[in-house]
Structure 1
């Protein structure tokens, strides 16, 4: 299934987009890693209802690698990964709360965990590429895999609910260099809105060129990331969760 989706995304990018861009004159490889400090908040539940949670903060890492080439009709490709884990406790104040086939009576404490990881396969074109401004545009296939867990905090094993899917998202990136300085401002976004599902992933920050020569470039990065994952009945899981916070990272360009 994954091969079919990736092939379809690649063909769509090749056939549906005919931009004439100024790509790298030689093959370029970008590799980067980022450390995040994120706060998490939102709603989680199943098709019969959701409940609001104040999730614990998390400090996940993300990694990416991109390949850019001078062939104008073929898209460049970027592969990135991200995973995070968070949890929350709620006190059932009245009635009962049902989740994962378990009924939590009034007065009990429900412990809920939320784990998600994804790999992004992005196919993009350089619409504009010069020393001052660069603009990329393309499509991302976000391969999402996660699970929720609920338990009472007693000896009983947690009840786990799996969910997975591939989200097609629009992708864009803008970079603006500050003349006569080693500083670049950047922002990139992935976005999806379909029926009752809504997902976004926006990053913006500043980059400092620590090393800049014909052999290798090394860039230090810092910025802010804002993610939303609102999914409607994905494997019987409903989410409306926001991840927000700062990041710091490093990028190497060969």
Structure 2
């Protein structure tokens, strides 16, 4: 009888050991988005300030890194920390007069402007599909902490105004991935989204990607994808805005 129970006991130990495994994922990379959109103060009757036409913004390079920890503790969500540094400054000569925060910037004036949409994401999530064939899926909640600003300064005049973006925003989080079968190395396609539409704010941030890794004990690999981040504000802290950053990104990744 003990001989019959021994294989079962070993199998249970093996399953338990696998279930108790703690996983760590990390990545760092660069994102090259095009910047577009407009913004204006809520109390302004003038036309919104156009990022490209008025201020000369086109594209930029943003840095990004993340760390995710997954564990077997029941009911306790997994955790992902992600930081995106998205900041760009421009000098441009105005082709028309613009108004921002009660200040008027006259046509032909040289202005220095800054757009900083940097943010840190704190995400708790659950794996709702894990090991089901080649599919996996996560759902959860992200708190996105912005720590940026929008500013315009006239070089030869006194006009100098800014709006601080320093607010935590809750977002729904979802991620899905399909591991390509029969590939000679770990290869997958997937997508991730953060989304919120409430009150006067709508924020959507989604990406599609292809990921590959070396088939080692510690998987070292990379991710190539496209990310689009859009933020629409209607009288949020006195600001109306419709801003978009979208473009390709590439990351180096490691999975323990």
TM-score, normalised with respect to structure 2: 0.82
- Offset at residue 101 of structure 1 (A): 3.8
Shift in CA distance, 150/253, structure 1 to aligned 2, threshold 3 Å: same
Aligned pairs (5 A) from 1:132-151: 132-151=134-153
Aligned pairs (5 A) from 1:83-232: 83-87=85-89, 89=92, 91-93=94-96, 96-130=97-131, 132-154=134-156, 156=158, 158-181=160-183, 182=185, 183-213=187-217, 216-232=218-234
Distance 2:236 2:112 in 1: 21
User: What residue number does 1:5 align with?
Assistant: none
- Offset at residue 161 of structure 1 (A): 2.4
Over 6 Å off, 4+ runs: none
Distance 2:180 2:113 in 1: 46
User: What residue number does 2:3 align with?
Assistant: none
User: What residue number does 1:51 align with?
Assistant: 49
- The root-mean-square deviation of aligned C-alpha atoms, in Å, is 2.0
User: What residue number does 2:14 align with?
Assistant: none
- Offset at residue 52 of structure 1 (A): 2.0
Distance 2:234 2:115 in 1: 16
User: What residue number does 1:10 align with?
Assistant: none
User: What residue number does 1:9 align with?
Assistant: none
- Offset at residue 212 of structure 1 (A): 2.9
Shift in CA distance, 233/164, structure 1 to aligned 2, threshold 3 Å: farther
User: What residue number does 1:234 align with?
Assistant: 236
Distance 1:184 1:99 in 2: 46
TM-score, normalised with respect to structure 1: 0.83
- Which stretch has the larger CA shift, 32-41 or 149-158? 149-158
Give the length in aligned residue pairs. 228
Distance 1:240 1:109 in 2: 24
Q: 5+ residue gaps in structure 1?
A: 1-22
| SS class of match (1:212) | coil
Shift in CA distance, 81/251, structure 1 to aligned 2, threshold 3 Å: same
Distance 2:38 2:154 in 1: 19
- Offset at residue 156 of structure 1 (A): 5.0
Q: Which protein is bigger by CA-based radius of gyration?
A: 2
CA offset digits 1:125-150 (Å, max 9, x no partner): 00001161100000001111211111
CA offset digits 1:16-66 (Å, max 9, x no partner): xxxxxxx95411111111211110000122113432221231111111101
Distance 1:36 1:68 in 2: 25
